[in-house]
Amino acid sequence: GLMGRKVGDVVEVQTPGGLLSLEILEISF
């Protein structure tokens, strides 16, 4: 999961199709 992330954080994830920006809507571990 996304350790240390909290609600409202925006995470950029590298994917085969490009860079994906995700806003964390709930706490993930």
8-20 pLDDT, tens digit per residue, is: 788 888 889 888 8
Could you give the C-alpha distances from 22 to 9, 10, 13, in angstroms and in order?
Answer: 8, 6, 7
Q: What SS3 state is found at 18?
A: strand
Q: Could you give the maximum distance between any two Cα atoms of the chain, in Å?
A: 26
Measured between its terminal Cα atoms, the distance across the chain in Å is 5
Q: Which residue has the higher pLDDT, 28 or 20?
A: 20
Task: Kindly report the pTM of this predicted structure.
Answer: 0.38
* pLDDT score, position 2: 60
